[in-house]
Amino acid sequence: MRNRDLSLDLLRILSAISVITIHVAGDYWSAVSIHSLEWQTFNFYDSMARFSVPAFVMISGVLLLDTSYKLTVSDLFKKKILRFILMFLIWSLFYTFVFTPPHNLKELLVSCFSGTTHLWFLKMIIGLYILIPILRKIVSDKQTARYFLIVYIVFSLFVYPLQGVNYFGIIYDQFIDNGYMYMPLGFTGYFIAGYYLKRMATFKKNARVCIYLLAIVGFIITVIGTGVISNAKGTATESLYDYLTPNVAMMTLGVFTFFNYRMPKIEFSDKMRRQIIKLSNYTLGVYLIHPFYVFILNRFHINALSMNPIISVPFIVLIVFVLSLISAALLKKIPVVNKCIV
């Protein structure tokens, strides 16, 4: 345990808390005036937490693309992919009856297979897991991995977001759709970037400072840009919140680099290390269960508008995180359930 690098565990915990922040702050994000202090506060918290999902994907890339972790195709499907498919169906069924109980079999099937808002993450992870044997080949050579990331940055982070922007849509149609440039899209870049940055790349101090400055710029673009675009359109607009945008990628790179270089330098006691690892192991369960508690608290009129959002958002995030953590820990103790639910 002393040799374990806790940077990924700590980042995973922060990412779980940040995902909850997104859902708590976003609950009433489009329900209040874009000119109000409440909206600006929600925008600030939501923008700040946008690195969370990409960071989760990068952590998975670090762990699963490492060839020292033996993973046959058979094990990949039996122990990973099928488990996540089952997990998706169970939680989707659960949230179907919690949020919008179906009136007939068709509604039930549509709801279960589409999944509630946050369960898209499981479908995305399943897709990435299917590609693991291919992606491992890419990261087996540093030059190939670097080339893939360059292509990803160009087509996924710059060209793809422009698909709906006036004449830039033509570029998208011609080079993405007509060029069938699908592989370097989506979250594959984050998956590979996690491994590349952790296992292959090294940044000197000056380079790290530049990365941190880029992260700050990314955050400023996200929070101010969202305000500007929303004001221009007269309605809350979340285009800059998209995980596949340069500004969010810049934030994610900065956060990942900070944890990668700074956290290993902190000395933790054995007791603290055990607690961090334990919390880290519960984060998937926290991710899956937390919308339920956001929903329940809302039913009791405890939400981001219950008081000043500057205070209410972190307060509710803390409550939801603790409740979700307790639930995840309890579910982890139940045989069979702990393998297919959390």
Q: What is the DSSP string of 214-234?
A: HHHHHHHHHHHHHHHHHHHHT
Average pLDDT score over residue span 243-268:
95
List Cβ neighbours of 263 (8 Å cut-off, separation of 6 or more): 5, 6, 7, 10, 11
Average pLDDT score over residue span 323-337:
93
pLDDT at residue 35 greater than cutoff 80: yes
pLDDT at residue 279 greater than cutoff 60: yes
**pTM of structure:** 0.94
DSSP 25-75: HHTTTTTS-TTSHHHHHHHHHHHHTTTHHHHHHHHHHHHHS-TTS---HHH
203-253 pLDDT, tens per residue? 999 999 999 999 999 999 999 999 999 999 999 999 999 999 999 999 999
pLDDT at residue 165 greater than cutoff 70: no
Q: Which residue has the higher pLDDT, 164 or 65?
A: 65
Give me the sign of the Cα torsion angle 183, 185, 190, 191.
negative
pLDDT at residue 131 greater than cutoff 70: yes
301: left (phi over 0), alpha (psi -120 to 50) or beta: left
Tokens coding 53 = 């999902």
Kindly indicate the confidence band of residue 141, based on its pLDDT and cuts at 50, 70 and 90.
Answer: very high
Give residue 236's pLDDT.
94
Residue 282 to residue 83: CA distance in whole angstroms: 16
- Percentage of the chain with pLDDT > 70? 96
Kindly indicate the confidence band of residue 113, based on its pLDDT and cuts at 50, 70 and 90.
Answer: confident
Give residue 111's pLDDT.
76
Residue 186 to residue 105: CA distance in whole angstroms: 32
Q: Give the mean pLDDT of the chain.
A: 92
40-90 pLDDT, tens per residue? 999 999 999 999 999 999 999 999 999 888 899 999 998 899 999 999 999
Q: Which residue has the higher pLDDT, 336 or 17?
A: 17
pLDDT at residue 145 greater than cutoff 60: yes
Tokens coding 73 = 């195709």
Tokens coding 138 = 């890419």
DSSP 294-307: HHHHHHTT-STTSS
Residue 51 to residue 130: CA distance in whole angstroms: 24
Give residue 117's pLDDT.
82
Q: How many residues in the chain?
A: 342
88-97 pLDDT, tens per residue? 999 999 998 8
Residue 222 to residue 149: CA distance in whole angstroms: 22
Give residue 115's pLDDT.
73
Residue 214 to residue 253: CA distance in whole angstroms: 9
